[in-house]
Structure formats: structure tokens, C-alpha cells
Structure 1
Amino acid sequence: MRAEIAHFLNNRLDWNLLRTYLVIVQERSISRAAARLHVTQPAVSQALKRLEDTLGRKLIERRGAQFDPTQAGTEVYRIASDIYSNISRLETELDARAQDITGSIRLLSVSRIESPAYDAFLAGFHRAHARIDLHIEVMRSSDIISSLLQKTATAGLGLCRNPVEKLETRIFLRQRYAIFCGPHHRLFGQTQLTMSDLLTENFVSFTSDQIGDSLSPLTVFRDQKGFTGRIVAASPSLDEVRRLIYAGYGIGCLPEHIVCDDLAQQRLWRLPPEDGLVDVDVNLLWHRERKMSTAEQTFLESFERVMQRYSMAQRLGLEPLETRDGIIAA
């Protein structure tokens, strides 16, 4: 199989087909791949069929909602990932002797990174390196880790409960999760509540809030405390979980520092326990064996300097940043 793929790449390379296939596997969906590539679903399906016909192999198995690459499909994905990684570095490698650093950064991120230090870092980095392009894609933590292991991105900002071989990990934000309800919920505005008052309440959950996934400590907490309410709504998006809690679907967990304004405007109400539930880390991640371009190395080094310079409280916005003209040096 590898020899056949190599023959295809050497003699009949169509990067558009390989690029489309990469996105199909990353998104695990024809429709999501089409949306990400800004093309129609039939165009994505046709590209997949052309690639399969050219290679003479079935690359994707679909059984209902399950969407998985075949053994041949996994091999094609691995090779296409390596090609994409090399192409993404090509411009910078050709411009290595230029005075100004040029290149492209592909950063993968979970939704709603709330950090004044992060915002100021991005502003400062662009000011110092205006010729470096930055592409940020929002996805689930599990997909971020998968993409980084395939060496298709510069770095990621996501949840990673356990060490992953070949990935470097730096804690960027340590978010304390607490329980909240919205103004349409019966507990809103009540004081003197205890944990026992919450045990039968229905929950709004993150889709990654399950045993073994990135937010499973929230599941463990509910099980340990004896919650009997059911999960009535869920989303992978923090903003959508927050919206559903506000709408009264149930109580739910959110990072404390992100909902300060909601509490002040009484869009949310803080519930026991007073000291919150658990700390969940948002990590800066990258593949230690991936060959980085000068632009990518500069980005990672600049990010690490920001983490060394500013405390966790400053990164979370709990203490003010001391910046020059409002800009953190990159």
C-alpha cells in the first residue's frame, strides 16, 4: 500500500485532493469539512471519491454516525499530514535569510480563551512580527491532541489531563470551575443553600464531561457527591453551555473567571460549594519532534516568555497586567 501511495504522490500528485482528505479525517464529517474548506458537501464527497478511485482503495468507513478511516485511509492521512507540515514551512525556509521573519502559524484552540495576557501577547507578537500570518482554529481538546500528534499544526491551547507521549505541555491557565444557575431556574437568587439542595437538580454539561475525557473531573465530583439529576442539555462550546444554564435548562459548571460579568449583571447565580469544584488546566501544547520553522519557533518562544513573566492570576485577569503602552513585548 505504501508503495502505491508513493507512486501516486510522485506521478499524479493533486494536493487539493490530499488537503481535502486531511480535513475530512480531522473533522470526521463531510459537512463539517465542507464548512471548514468553504466549499459544498458534494464537492468534498467528489474529492474523496476521486482520491479513492485514483488509489484503488477505500479510505473511509461510514456506519451510521461512526466515521473512521480504513487502514489504507490512516496511511494516506499520515503521509498527507507530513506533506502539509513540510509545505507550511516552505515559505519560511525559503525566506530564512531575510531580515524580517516570515511564515505561517497554525494554532488550534478550545473555545473561549479568556485571558488579558493572551490578548495582549497576540497584539504584541503581531506588532513585532507583522509578516508572520496567524491562523487560529477552534476545536475540541481531543481533536487538538490528535492533530498535534499528526504534526499538522504549530501548537494548541487545550485540555490535557494526562501526559501524551511526544507532546510538550505548559500550563497556561488554571481555571477553577464552580456551579451556577440562571435567572429562569428555581434556585436563582436563593441564599443559604447547601450541597444537599442541588443533588436532585438536572445538569447542563460539556460534551467532554464524561469519564476519561478532558473534563471528567466534573463527572467524578457529581458521582462522589451523589447527584441524581440527569443531564438535560450539553454542548462542546463554553458559550453554549453558559447560554443553556442562563435559559434554565439546569445547573452547570463554568470557569469562575469567565463569568464575573454575568454574576455582576445577575445573569448567573453562584451555587455551593463556595470554594468551587475543581481546577482544570488549559495547556500550551506542541509536538516535540516536529521540525519548526523560524516563525513557529519565534511564536513558541514568545508565548513561553509571556507565561514566565506573568503570574497565573494576571493571566486569568484577576490581577492587572503591567505592560508598556498596553502591549506585552513578544
Structure 2
Amino acid sequence: MSVDIDTKFVFQLDWNLLRTFLVIAEEHSITLAAHRLLRGQPSVSLALKRLETELGCRLIDRGHGTFRLTSAGRRLYAECSDMFGGVGRLPEAVRQSANEISGEINIVMASHVITPLFDKQLSSLSQAHPQIRFNIRIDTSVKVVQAVRERRASFGICLVNRKFQDVEYHLMYREYFGFYCGPSHPLFGRRRLKMADLRDYPAVSFDTEDINDALRPVALLRSKWGLDYDIVGRSSQLEEVRRMVQCGMGIGSLPIHVMKRDVADGLLWRLPPYDDPPEVDIFLVTNPGKRLNRAEELMIRQLKQTIAEIPLADRTYNEPF
């Protein structure tokens, strides 16, 4: 009985080669892939060459500082992501019973996501379904969306600058950003300040405070009042921007409802504008093309339902909870 070429390929291929290629593509580096796989770099390079030989095409263009997936490499990466994602779901598929919801939920969020909508979902799900496991990772908003698009995350919560057609966006809540300074700053403790009083002082900012990025409203206000000429510190993480502000390095913009306690504790001082601060929207980002386990389906469904039921006015924060 004859066996067609595709069937022979399936049975003869060393599937570890696909796993190695997936890690190489995710790390964008053979060296980093070798560290992650706990293998030597020559071994990982050889595995890539063997896979390219088996498939009869080049998967990665590399050399002279270049590392880029070819068209064939991008297609194989997408297929491998789905395939190993399916393999990862096999234990749950075998174990779960009709009345038990288990599985892992991989959540990627921007660093300043503070909302009772999310906290209540975590609390209720963990209590109702103790077999669910949560993995929460903090990253930049751009990488949050990228992880959702590449189906490496169950869902994401972040700021959004550019919207892609292959993922869905649900406005989760709206927050306001205010300007702050630390205890050692000359403006600390001063009242009835005006925006013009903030000029000529150094500033710290988020990486996304740009007119072409997610914190565009903040960037526009900085530009209008000339507060963007001397940026002495930047970070993608709220904790680090707050740290630089508290240390007196410069004036920084931070979410008002998150910083209220620091103001009360004397760690920060609120600066103008007081009446019309920049507003920023935070989105729940999901991928309709991702195959979800039961835990993921449940949490996403409940989050969407909560968002739909609560008016935006009640999901708009400029005061502490």
C-alpha cells in the first residue's frame, strides 16, 4: 500500500524540530532560544537547518544583525502556535468533567490597569472555580495587543493607539491623567498653580506619551504648554514613572484614581490642570480566531457582559474606589 508524501512527512518528522523553531521565532534569537530550551546554541542552529531541509525552504533570514522570518517562516509559526496551543489544551480536555471548569487563563495587561471590574471577575471566578489557574503578565500596550493577535494570550487589557481588524476591542473603562510632583520638587505643596507655572521644570513620562501613540491626550497637553522640552526619564511601567516623580526628578502624568492614596500619604502633589485633565480609554482586547478553553471562554464572556451592563459613566474613574 502506498503512502502519500504528506503522510510520510507527518510520520517521519521529528516534532521537536517544530517546537525548537517555535521558540526561535518567539525569542527572535537562536542564542535566547537555546537558553530557554536549556540546550547549546549549535544544537538549536542544527535543528533549524534540519527543519529547513525537511521542508525544502528557508524559514529565517539571518546574518549581519538581521533576523527575520521569511513568508514560509511566518506561515509555519502561525501553524505551530495553533498546533502547540492545541497540545497544551490536551490535559484539560482529558481531565475536565461536564460540571467542572478548569484550565489556565493567560492575561496580558498594561501596568496601570486598576479597575474593580477586573478585580471582581478575578475574585468571583477563583472562588466559583478553584481549578482555574491565572497567569497575569505586565507589558507595554503594543506588546499586549501583539500577544492577543498572535494568540499567546487569552485576552489583553491596555491602552489602544492603532486598531487591527483581526482582534476585537471593548471599552472597559475611562480614566483621567493628572500631573504630579514629588516631595522634594519646588512646586510640592503649592496651591492655586496654573499650567504656566509648570514650564521650565524637567519632566518624566511614559514611553507612549506621544501624539502618535496611546497617551496622545497627555502628549498634546504637554506640547500645548511647553512641558515636553526636557524629558529626563521615561518608562513603560507606571511604577517606575511614579518612582521618578516621587524622587523629584521631574513632573509626570499619572492616573488620578490610582494616585489618590499617594497624594493623601504625602508622596505626591497634584498639579494643574484641575478641572479638565486628559482622558484615556482602557480596552479589553480579544481575538475571535483563538481557540479558547472553558475557563477562558467564561472569563471573557463575563467581562464583556459586565461592560455591556454598566454605563460608561460608572466606568469612568477620576476618584479612588
Q: TM-score, normalised by structure 1?
A: 0.80
Q: Which residue matches 2:51?
A: 55
Q: Which residue matches 1:323?
A: none
Q: Which residue matches 1:252?
A: 252
Question: 2:290 is paired with a residue of what secondary structure?
Answer: coil
Question: 2:151 is paired with a residue of what secondary structure?
Answer: coil
Structure 1 stretch displaced more, 304-313 or 273-282: 304-313
Maintained 8 Å contact 2:21/2:48: no
Deviation at 1:70, TM superposition (A): 4.6
Q: Does 1:13 align with 2:19?
A: no
Maintained 8 Å contact 1:193/1:271: yes
From the superposition, tell whether residues 120 and 205 of structure 1 become closer, same or farther in structure 2 (CA, over 3 Å): same
Deviation at 1:123, TM superposition (A): 1.5
Deviation at 1:264, TM superposition (A): 0.3
Q: Which residue matches 2:124?
A: 124
Length, aligned pairs only: 309
* 1:148-201 Cα shifts (integer Å, max 9, x gaps): 112222111111134320211112221101111111211111122111111222
Structure 1 stretch displaced more, 79-88 or 173-182: 79-88
From the superposition, tell whether residues 60 and 102 of structure 1 become closer, same or farther in structure 2 (CA, over 3 Å): farther
Maintained 8 Å contact 1:62/1:68: no
Structure 1 stretch displaced more, 200-209 or 254-263: 200-209
* 1:96-118 Cα shifts (integer Å, max 9, x gaps): 65321222211111113222342
Distance 1:193 1:29 in 2: 54
Distance 2:70 2:89 in 1: 29
Q: Which residue matches 2:55?
A: none
Maintained 8 Å contact 2:102/2:295: yes
Deviation at 1:146, TM superposition (A): 1.4
Question: 1:267 is paired with a residue of what secondary structure?
Answer: coil
From the superposition, tell whether residues 44 and 118 of structure 1 become closer, same or farther in structure 2 (CA, over 3 Å): farther
Structure 1 stretch displaced more, 94-103 or 168-177: 94-103
Q: Which residue matches 2:140?
A: 140
Distance 1:47 1:209 in 2: 43
* 1:68-124 Cα shifts (integer Å, max 9, x gaps): 545454334322222233234334444565321222211111113222342232111
Question: 2:165 is paired with a residue of what secondary structure?
Answer: coil
Instruction: Structure 2: give runs of 5+ residues left out of the alignment.
Output: 53-57
Q: Does 1:205 align with 2:205?
A: yes
Q: Which residue matches 1:112?
A: 112
Q: Which residue matches 2:214?
A: 214
C-alpha root-mean-square deviation of aligned residues, in Å? 3.3
From the superposition, tell whether residues 225 and 316 of structure 1 become closer, same or farther in structure 2 (CA, over 3 Å): closer
Maintained 8 Å contact 2:258/2:320: no
Deviation at 1:281, TM superposition (A): 1.5
Q: Does 1:295 align with 2:295?
A: yes
Question: 1:221 is paired with a residue of what secondary structure?
Answer: helix
Q: Which residue matches 1:172?
A: 172
Instruction: Structure 1: give runs of 5+ residues left out of the alignment.
Output: 321-330
Distance 1:67 1:219 in 2: 33
Maintained 8 Å contact 1:171/1:282: yes
Q: Which residue matches 2:240?
A: 240
The higher radius of gyration belongs to: 2
Q: TM-score, normalised by structure 2?
A: 0.82
Question: 1:180 is paired with a residue of what secondary structure?
Answer: strand
Maintained 8 Å contact 1:115/1:317: no
Q: Residue type of the partner of 2:60? A: L
Q: Residue type of the partner of 1:59? A: I
From the superposition, tell whether residues 171 and 45 of structure 1 become closer, same or farther in structure 2 (CA, over 3 Å): farther
Q: Choose the corresponding residue for 1:23, options 21, 26, 49.
A: 26
Q: Residue type of the partner of 2:20? A: L
Identity %: 26
